[in-house]
Amino acid sequence: MIKRLYPFAAALGLTALGAVAALAAAASSGDPLISLSYLQNTFLPSLTQQAEQRLDPLDETAQAAQDLLDEKAQGYLAQAGGGDSALSYSAGFSDTSCRRGDEYALPAGSGFLLRAGSAKVTHDGAVVDVTAGTSVASGGALTAGHRYLVGEDTAALFYISSEAAVAGVEGSYLLTPSTYDTMPFLDVAEGDWFHAAVTYAYGNGLFSGTAADTFSPNMNITRGMVVTVLYQLAGRPAVSDGSAFSDVAADAYYAAPVSWATANGVVAGMGDGTFAPNSNITREQLACMLYSFARNIAGLDVSLQGDLSRYTDRDSVSSYAAQALSWAVGAGVITGTDAALLSPQGTATRAQAAAMLFVMDSLS
């Protein structure tokens, strides 16, 4: 409605300018009926008054329309979540840092853009993934990098489910900020099987991110990383002796952890004078380190033994790791990669290692 007033006002202004130009031309040509005094003191003030009289009702109509739109928007927002927060408006998709639990209530016509992280939407009508050209079911997950539009007669609530996210809104919205203590990671979301484990590991200083906003849960974890995590779990005790392994440099981040772990019987190396700190750890190697830490450092009861016979790949378990794996399975620290496979020679991810530590902590 407001935009429709602009052409009318412009046309009225051009009409006035045309009239003034014509009268001024007549005056300059010596027309005795027109005088500059008449133009300034009578014609122009009268024309201005007429214009204002014509525009005033239209201004009132436009304001009434705007008030109605605002009322409708507030109603949609109340349906989407309500609250006492003030209605906000964004003219474009400006990137905003978000965290898990932030809620954006949007009325019909507003848009949401998820730049990075994870989010989901609930709604009572239609939300369109504009990027993909598809509709999104209520409760559905959003795709990072996609833009979403709230359909006609629809109220939508966009919920940030990852620990951190980057998003933008175009149009009216109502933000309810999160009350959670969150982590800075874009790739760890509420509902992920490893969410609680990563929360525990990060909150206790056992793991840091691979970048400021990235945890990399599916990245393989190395032997050097695992020893460093266990060293952190032990409270970073003082270390006086250097490493006995030829491939552990004195200035490496894992140098002190490897020295401590060796002195306390947590690790024994590869048997050839090396530790292989940068090699991906296998699941049976990880079980051995956790078993030794539980017995020698944490003082846990490690007598419980699980039954490995149900796993079809039990014969691939190395003899040195059999007891440790049996304890880890019996204590629930390690589970199979599926119902029939233990995968002792397979690698372990950062998320899996965090989950194992989380379970082991519950045993104490």
Q: In 177-321, where does DSSP find H-type helix?
A: 195-203, 223-233, 255-263, 283-296
State the Cα–Cα distance between residues 121 and 140, nearest whole angstrom.
Answer: 6
Q: Please report how the helices 283-296 and 322-330 are oriented relative to each other, as an axis angle in degrees rounded to 10.
A: 80
pLDDT averaged per 10 residues, the chain (length 364) = 43 46 48 53 65 64 58 53 67 95 97 97 97 97 98 97 97 95 96 96 96 97 97 93 90 96 94 96 97 96 93 96 96 94 97 96 88
CA atoms within 13 A on the CB side of 169: 25
Residue 29 carries which side chain, given as an amino acid letter? Answer: S
Quick one: DSSP state of residue 209? -
pLDDT of residue 240: 81
Tell me which architecture the domain covering 88-176 has in CATH: Sandwich (2.60)
Identify the three-state secondary structure at position 229: helix
pLDDT of residue 52: 66
Instruction: Provide φ and ψ at 211, rounded to 5°.
Output: -155, 175
* Cβ atoms of residues 171 and 140 within 8 Å: no
Residue 52 carries which side chain, given as an amino acid letter? Answer: E
Q: Which two tokens stand for residue 217?
A: 């849960």
pLDDT of residue 14: 44
The model's pTM is 0.73
Q: Which of 258, 270, 210 is nearest to 234 (CA)?
A: 258
* Buried b or exposed e, range 117-138, using 16+ CB within 10 angstroms: bbbbbbbeebbbbeeeeeebee
Q: Give the position of tokens 């609680």.
A: 196
